[in-house]
Amino acid sequence: MASVLSGVLAPKRFTANGLLLRPLCEADEPALEEAMRDPGVLQWGVGRAVASAPAAERARIWLTSRLTGWTAGTAAFALTDPDDGTFLGYLGLRDVHRVPDQAVAGYWVTPSARGRAVAARALDAASTWAFTPERDGGLGLHRVALDHALVNEASCRTALRAGFTVEGVMRESFVAPDGTRHDSHLHARLVTDPRPTFE
């Protein structure tokens, strides 16, 4: 259950849409190190500070803040295969209840997990959990938002497939690791929006 006043979230682990979402752990570092060799993950998923760090330090820097994220209002999930535990990517819901009943989503998947709707399935699963009332083990949210650089068309497809409507364009809001500014799409899904289906 989320503590709205303190910002502390109880770590959650659950299976949905063919994925296991669980809190990140120290043992994820080797998989993260491998993922952060991918140009796409570095470009869109880890932020400027991590992308500009030496390759050997990126996973540790990125992981450190997420290991304690649950105590600071960020639900930080490893996306894994429920059968064999393979690390498939990351999904975070940050700023939970910073604006009442809202959060902001971010996600990325490993190169080997692409093309299987892993990010969309995870985004739907996490949002559905977030919309669940606190008394039933969710976060009791009304709205989850996300944004992505317009040139990141794969992220747009993910958001749309997970039921996140495009709400507008945020001018020059995304700063790439090389300092280039990009316009971004703002998407959001409300608790009252229909849930997507996945085959």
Starting at the edge strand found earlier in the chain, the sheet holding 87-94 runs 14-16, 19-23, 75-80, 87-94, 102-109, 143-149, 181-190, 165-175
Helix (H, G, I), strand (E, B) or coil at 21: strand
- 4 in a domain, yes or no? no
Sequence-distant (6+) residues with CB within 8 A of 39 are none
- 41 in a domain, yes or no? yes
Q: Which amino acid, residue 144?
A: V
Q: Which amino acid, residue 170?
A: M
- 6 in a domain, yes or no? no
Q: Which amino acid, residue 179?
A: G
- 3 in a domain, yes or no? no
How many C-beta atoms lie closer than 10 Å to residue 99's C-beta? 12
- 75 in a domain, yes or no? yes
Q: Identify the CATH number of the domain in which residue 140 sits.
A: 3.40.630.30
Instruction: Please compute, for residue 116, the number of CA atoms within 13 A of its CA located in the half-sphere on the CB side.
Output: 17
Q: What are phi and psi of 168, to 5 degrees?
A: 160, -175
How many C-beta atoms lie closer than 10 Å to residue 126's C-beta? 28
Instruction: Look at the chain and report how many structural domains it folds into.
Output: 1
pTM of the full structure: 0.92
What are the tokens at 191?
């608790």
Q: What are phi and psi of 179, to 5 degrees?
A: 90, -5
- 198 in a domain, yes or no? no
Query: Per residue of the chain (199 residues), what is the pLDDT tens digit?
Result: 444 445 789 999 999 999 999 999 999 999 999 999 999 998 898 888 898 899 999 999 999 989 999 999 999 999 999 999 999 999 999 999 999 999 999 999 999 999 899 999 999 999 999 999 999 999 999 999 999 999 999 999 999 999 999 999 999 999 888 888 999 999 999 999 999 988 6
From residue 170, how far is each of 60, 71, 147, 151 by CA, in Å?
A: 31, 30, 9, 13
Domain that holds residue 24: 14-190
- 116 in a domain, yes or no? yes
Q: Which amino acid, residue 131?
A: F
- 46 in a domain, yes or no? yes
d(CA 117, CA 112): 12
Q: Residue 6: what pLDDT? A: 54
